[in-house]
Amino acid sequence: MSKLISGAEYKLAKIFSSDFEYKIPRYQRPYSWTVDQALELFDDLFGFYKSESEEGYFLGSIVLIKQESQPNSEVIDGQQRLTTLTILISALASIFEGEQRNMLCQYIKEPGNEFAGLKPKPRLTLRDRDQEFFLKYVQGLNFDDLLDLDEKSLDNEAQINIQKISKLYLQDKLKHLRNDLQRTTEFTKFLLQRCFLVVVSTPSQQSAFRVFSVMNSRGLDLQPTDIIKAKIIGQLSTGEEREEYSQRWEDMEVELDRSGFNDLFSYVRMIYAKEKAKRSLLEEFRAHVLSKVGKPKELISKVLEPFSGALATVWNRNYAATSHSEEVNTYLRWLNRIDNSDWIPAAILFLSENRNNPEYVAWFFRRLERLAAYMHICALYVNKRIERYSEVIKAIERKHNFELPVQAVELTDEEKERMRAALRGDIYELMPRRRNYLILRLDTFLSDGAASYDPNILTIEHVLPQTVAPDSEWESVWPDEQSRKDWVHKLANLVPLNRRRNSRAQNYDFERKKNVYFSGNGGVSSYALTTQVLHSSEWTPEHLANRQKKLLDVLEENWELTC
């Protein structure tokens, strides 16, 4: 009877031998080590090699599903190290020629032995999406072709990582060894004979996933989604189901990218918990989501996939429908300029349930943008924001439709008054991202949404300067210093520009300032607010008061701020 779990330490010469045939199952995450991690591994290895002449180097552990007497090894944990070590050994093999190269290639690919019943095959087989690429370029030692590939032509992040790490090893870390074959030989011998991995293996998939989860809850560098995936996919009963749902999981991860996919789990946690996180994402997801959606298929098909699709739409601003799509995508563009993502859980929950009702979607996102803008401009701190959005999430979960819409997304009369008060205040003294959002939002209201903006080159400038020189035209038009202080930072006195101009021009008289400081090529501006100033013949207290009222009216009308 085979052991349930076994563990043993092996040198890499044994790890990459016919005793093991590694396969990365489709439900595993893509190869995700970056140059930084590969660099750290090499520097640790080479530093140890130079300083220690006899001691062995421990590379950690891997977890396999493997029968004792069979080489077939399904990798549950250890893909990153096995793949990176294969790249390193292949890079070393490319330095050698003749018999030395052939001997080293035996650790990369099984050459085959008819009398031993061994067929030629790679020692490590990556997931289907990447294996042909890995076999051709890395295990086939075609590094020149690999490094010539345009990064944009590669299929996914895993292949980009493989190319970058190959380049790191060949053109940087191993470059100095090319002219010293003796030292290259000694380092290769050290790698194969004095570097060790602990192999934890079990014939039971359920047991392997349990070992994996325990090990990675104790500090190994995995994302929470990897551990959740191991648990969820491990619960499926057949290989066909594991293949199918692993592919669906991977499709979501590829669409959102690895970082975005982890963000998705945070947003899903918020939808279920409706409160600020108090513990780690893994703990919170288990407590609030997995406890309520215990079935793996249901979690993937009814929770993750709908929310993943909605999140991709929200981030890419590409809502598609027979009507209102442009309107919705405009609101999404503005929401994505908010300085936090607290609005996203409510957005993806609503969109996942109502995507096919474009008129209602437009209604909702118009109000969600206003709610987000209110909290952004009024500087509500995170706890208040989360409390407010949780009200919206709770309302979405109750019965609603376009005739009886989600009322919690509407501003209350108190919130409207607070926002109006903020708009009447000293806008320039807001944090830059808040004031920029407000100025550009106002500008788009004035231009009927036709303008597009690059916030990276935006600067907000004063018409009436902050410092008025004695005997200047400004002093004669604005003789009351207190009046200048009252108006200088108000909305009506601010204009958006594409770049900061000559600082001396900031204090020019009004006409000269318009012509030199505010106007762009041809004496015009790409901003409606600035164009209004260019068309103004004076900048007096009376003119500014009238302008302030008109601009506030525009904001109150478009954001529907009247009680």
What pairs with residue 62 in β-bridges?
A: 199
pLDDT for position 311: 98
pLDDT at 523 over 60: no
pLDDT tens sequence across 384-416 = 999 999 999 999 999 999 999 999 999 999 999
- pLDDT of 219 > 50? The answer is no
Task: Give pLDDT, residue 250.
Answer: 86
Please report the pLDDT score of residue 70 as a whole number.
Answer: 86
> Which is nearest to 123 in space by CA: 134, 339, 517, 133?
134
Q: Does residue 520 carry a pLDDT above 90?
A: no
Task: Give the residue carrying structure tokens 């052991």.
Answer: 3
Judged against a pLDDT cut of 70, whether residue 480 lies above it is answered with: yes
**How is residue 537 annotated by DSSP?**
S
Least confident of 218-222, 415-419, 462-466: 218-222
- The per-residue pLDDT for range 27-36, each reduced to its tens digit, is 677 888 988 8
Q: How confident is the model at residue 524 (pLDDT cuts 50, 70, 90)?
A: low
Question: Do residues 377 and 340 make contact, with C-beta atoms less than 8 angstroms apart?
Answer: no
pLDDT in tens, 86-120: 999 999 999 999 999 999 999 999 887 776 777 88
3 state SS of 481: helix
- Note whether 267 and 340 are within 8 A (CB): no
Give the domain ranges of the chain.
6-222, 243-313, 317-410, 427-558
Question: φ, ψ for residue 65 (rounded to 5)?
Answer: -95, 115
Residues in Cβ contact with 239 at an 8 Å cutoff, skipping those fewer than 6 apart: none
Give the 3-state secondary structure of residue 497.
Answer: strand
Cβ neighbours of residue 228 closer than 8 Å, sequence gap 6 or more: 265, 282, 285, 286, 290
Token representation of residue 554: 């525009």
Side-chain half-sphere CA neighbours of 251 within 13 A: 13
C-beta separation of 119 from 132 below 8 A: no
What's the rounded Cα separation, in Å, for the pair 7 and 289? 34
Spatial CB neighbours of 471, under 8 Å, sequence gap ≥ 6: none
Does an H or E element contain 532, and which? helix 528-534
Number of Cβ atoms within 10 Å of the Cβ of 326: 11
State the average pLDDT over residues 272-277: 92
Prediction pTM value: 0.67
Q: How much of the chain, in percent, has pLDDT values that exceed 90?
A: 55
Task: Say how far apart CA 229 and CA 561 lie, in whole Å.
Answer: 46
CA dihedral 554, 367, 439, 383 (to 10 degrees): 140
Distances (CA, A) of 525 to 21, 442, 520, 528: 66, 15, 5, 7
The answer to whether 317 and 332 are in contact (CB under 8 A) is yes
| pLDDT, mean of residues 424-450 | 89
CB burial of residue 56 (10 Å; 0-12, 13-18, 19+): middle
| Residue 444, amino acid | T
Please give the full DSSP string across 35-99, using - where no structure is assigned.
Answer: HHHHHHHHHHHHHHHHH-SS--EEEEEEEEE--TT--EEEEEE-HHHHHHHHHHHHHHHHH--HH
Going from the C-alpha of 15 to that of each of 38, 60, 184, 192, the distances in angstroms are 19, 13, 21, 9
Cβ-Cβ contacts under 8 Å for 489 (sequence gap 6 or more): 426, 427, 428, 429, 462
**314: left (phi > 0), else alpha (psi -120 to 50), else beta?**
alpha
Q: Is the distance from CB of 311 to CB of 344 less than 8 angstroms?
A: yes
Contact of 438 with 427, CB cutoff 8 Å: yes
Cα(77)–Cα(215) distance, integer angstroms: 9
Which of 221-230, 315-324, 445-454, 465-474 has the lowest average pLDDT? 445-454
> Which residues fall within 8 angstroms of residue 62, CB to CB, at 6 or more apart?
75, 77, 78, 81, 82, 197, 198, 199, 200
Mean pLDDT across the chain, nearest whole number?
Answer: 88
Q: Residues 327-368: pLDDT tens digits? A: 999 999 999 999 899 999 999 999 999 999 999 999 999 999
Q: How far apart are CA 275 and CA 20, in angstroms?
A: 48
